[in-house]
A = this chain, B = another copy of it.
Amino acid sequence: MSTPIPVEFWYDFGSNYSYLAVMRIEAVAKKYGVPVQWRPFLLGPIFQSFGWNDSPFVLQKEKGDYVWKDMVRESKKYGLPFRRPTTFPRTAVQATRLALLGSNAEWGAEFSRRIMLLNFALDQDIASDSLVLAVLRDMGLPADALMVAARADEVKARLRDQVALAHRMGMFGAPTCMVGSEMFWGNDRLDDAFRLAAGR
């Protein structure tokens, strides 16, 4: 039996379709027997490199209007709670750095799900340090130490590298799955990415 290629899962805490994928991915990964490599990153600098100063769902009104209706239907389809965030897109730099720290630890996936639920089911300000701190505490983690660790220059540099790598790979949105050099954009392509990784 060959070892399946892991699926690199790139997501942004402000991205609504990333929310759906973050909540679903472990079940999909289990179904295909393929490991996930969590890759939290920031879409903002990528959009800026295209000359955009906001999400395309804000810049293009017609698509934006549609997306929130689609989100209501899609969330229902997957059995996920959803409330349209009053601020969109939210940029959560500290939470993203923490997710990066957690991406090689046991707690990373659950931390990411909690941040996503706060943004897209509870409409909370995920950029708030006190909120992020409360999440870490609630998970029984060394919250204060992690908050400090996430602000280390090394972690900041790692996040910048992550964004630069996304850019170099031609990423233009989130969620995006990479299987080797093969790119799959969107929650709608999650299964396709895992199917390729599983060699089916």
Q: Which B residue sits closest to A171, measured CB to CB?
A: B62
For residue A63, CB closer than 8 A to chain B, the reply is yes
**B170 engages A66 (CB within 8 Å):** yes
- A172 and B63 within 8 A (CB): yes
A183 near B66 with CB under 8 A, answer: yes
Task: Encode contact with B along A160-197: 1 for CB under 8 Å, 0 otherwise.
Answer: 00000000001111000000001101101100100000
Would A192 and B77 be within 8 Å (CB), given that A50-B60, A60-B172, A172-B60 are in contact? yes
If A50-B60, A70-B185, A185-B70 touch, whether A65 touches B170 (CB-CB below 8 Å) is yes
Report how many copies the assembly holds.
2
Q: In the complex, what's the smallest C-beta–C-beta distance from A183 to chain B, in angstroms?
A: 6
Task: Kindly state whether residue A151 has any CB partner on chain B within 8 Å.
Answer: no
A62 x B172 contact (CB < 8 A): yes
Q: How large is the interface on A (under 10, 10 to 19, 20 to 34, 35 or more residues)?
A: 20 to 34
CB <8 Å contact, B188 and A62:
no
Assess whether A200 is interfacial by the CB under 8 Å rule: no
CB nearest to A185 among chain B residues: B66
Contacts of A182 in B (CB 8 A): 69
* Complexed CA–CA distance, A152 and B89 (Å): 48
Interface assignment of A30: CB less than 8 Å from any CB of chain B: no
Residues in chain B near residue A70, CB distance under 8 A: 185, 189
Shortest CB distance A1–B (Å): 25
Q: Which residues of B contact A69 (CB under 8 A)?
A: 182-183
A170 to B66, CA, bound (A): 8
Q: Which residues of A contact B (CB under 8 A)?
A: 50, 60, 62-63, 65-66, 69-70, 73, 77, 170-173, 182-183, 185-186, 188-189, 192
